[in-house]
Structure 1
């Protein structure tokens, strides 16, 4: 239980340890409806009652999608209850939520969620926030065929590739066949 509370404080969107889905759009049960907004640079709410630690000195001008501007009269920590992918109610904590009384609803910033390492997925069923963004590949291994020059180079004790080609060209290697290989490779030996 204490580990879970620590995790909730460490991450801004919290969610089930046993589920990959953190938050589903349109399922917020408290604090009104929250809309995922890919253009929003911050989370925003029109309802001060869902904000804890509301700091009234954090006033800001918010530029809206229609080009108009409005005022944020403060910033706090937002709390809402949502339903995860398994239908389980989860507390969600959002840091740095602007209080913008003139907004018609509540906005979740897709970019802020992504900055925390979550993945926001839109599909025909709606929108989901997933716990982890798949790791980006640091290295990609290319597969060489069974008759690739690079493979025969290694099989023959790192023989010079030109020598391997000559063996095949001159018919000196019984059963040795080379296929075209599109992978450029430099031997480290």
Structure 2
């Protein structure tokens, strides 16, 4: 492959590597001094990689793919960061469950004043099992539940209807919504129906 003439003047980052033979500069016409960063294909400093005479088509395609891969990783990282920031401190969605005997979660970071304490195993739908690892406090600032169970392996957050009633809460259901009233008859939590389940958003505080 023919290498175009180059200036004999050293560029900003020094001369090119010795393994490539320089063509003699033309004796006619003005000399153009290129001041680019070092070409990552051949190591010379008098041109950019996209104009390198030694770069093959395969090299350029590989570079495009590499840059695309980097851009994709950056995009995924940004999305991941946004998701983490949006859920930071979130108490999340809780299912009102008439079948469980205690409030329980599989996310230990939702609980404060957490204490490790082994407890009974819990059987999930499909005969799967989880294990009680400890207990903590769940609070959204206006409503607080103590001794909420952390169950390793539990995929959903569950509020026990029976335990709510045992603590003098009143649970009401309509066709599209649900509400939890405290012992004074004031609204403590509200939720909505999705398909055949009722969901409580613990981040929605009642004022």
Shorter-normalised TM-score: what interval?
0.3 to 0.5
Higher RCO (CA < 8 A, seq sep 6+)? 1
Q: Which has the higher helix share?
A: 2
Q: Which has the larger radius of gyration?
A: 2
